Amino acid sequence: MNDASRPDPWNLDVRTRQLKVTLWYPTEQKDGERAPYMTPKESELYLRGSEIAGVPYDTLSRTRTNAVKDAEPAGERLPLVVLSPGFTKPLSSLTSLAEDLASRGYVVAGIDHPYESHVTTLSDGRVADCLACDSDTDPGFGGRVVQGRAADVSFVLDHLTAKWDGSRLIDRSRIAMVGQSIGGAAAVAAMVKDSRVRAGIDMDGSTYARIPKSGFSRPFMFIGSERQVPGGGDGSWDRDWKLLTGWKRWIAVTDTDHQAFTDIPLLGPALGIKPAPGALPAERGAQIARVYVAAFLDQHLKGRRQPLLDRPSSGYPEVKPCPEHCGES
């Protein structure tokens, strides 16, 4: 997708903002070519950029997905979830979550934000590397990123809900955004900018966008590692929590780190990455992310009340609702 209304914020030689958007959606089709996780070139550039050595550079291109490429969609007027990945991470790092949401009846639009990741392959075949990585220590960098991503989200919504041939798949009254790390921070920025985003989730991302002092009433959930408890992290969640005046939840998951809700821990064995001693098993972290994200979306986009979000669960003792239960052992 090309947004001709603005230049790229990172590549000064590009006069339009070009985005890569990947869609997952329900289908009844079971046979067909599996969607690739990454191309061999993408795998190589991501592993090099992440300084992961000792494994074949095409490893991630051999990662199997569950999605069928170009499958026929099933259903119409489905709720839409926008996904935004962490800084330096390609959208593929959220594939397992995207596939799970599609299996539950959501259309998922994942955005690769060019020049903010180690690798993004654009529609004309060009590969965009991380130009923004040279600026990540600049004052105001986080705010610049999330405002740019908010503009990306609004442009994608304009296209998918009105200009895309498959727009009938999407119910424009039921749109949410989920992001990890700075992608989660961008969910806040996108919701402040665009009223079409009815609900949002920040997965372990310090926030940068300013919420109006009058408050913000749309549903929002913070889900993070155990560093993200009241008084922890960088304080941005404490600041924003006070300004969330509508339905809100804040949960911390014990024995997890910043990447726990992405595919990175799941891919750890293939990449030679050993979990920290005592870390929550990767499969369990992924399960918690899927269950709680889906519960939030089911409640706020499908109108199905989810008691799981209202109190601690014996089925998920690692999950500590904050601020009331974060100090429990």
Q: Which domains does the chain have, with CATH numbers?
A: 2-322 (3.40.50.1820)
- Contact call for residues 33 and 68 (beta carbons, < 8 A): yes
Reply yes or no on whether the pLDDT at 328 is more than 60. Answer: no
- Contact call for residues 266 and 282 (beta carbons, < 8 A): yes
Across the range 242-262, mean pLDDT stands at 95
Q: Read off φ and ψ for residue 126, nearest 5 degrees.
A: -65, 145
Reply yes or no on whether the pLDDT at 55 is more than 60. Answer: yes
81-124: pLDDT as tens digits: 999 999 999 999 999 999 999 999 999 999 999 999 999 999 88
The per-residue pLDDT of the chain, averaged, comes to 94
pLDDT bucket at 329, cuts 50 / 70 / 90 = very low
Strand-pair category, 248-253 with 220-225: parallel
pLDDT of residue 327: 59
DSSP, residue by residue, 252-320:
EETT--TTTTSSHHHHHHHHTPPPPTTPPPHHHHHHHHHHHHHHHHHHHHS----GGGTS--TT-TTEE
* 145: CB partners within 8 A, 6+ apart: 87, 116, 132, 182, 185, 186, 208
Across the range 241-260, mean pLDDT stands at 95
282-292: pLDDT as tens digits: 999 999 999 99
| pTM as predicted | 0.95
pLDDT of residue 231: 83
Reply yes or no on whether the pLDDT at 325 is more than 80. Answer: no
pLDDT of residue 234: 87
Reply yes or no on whether the pLDDT at 44 is more than 50. Answer: yes
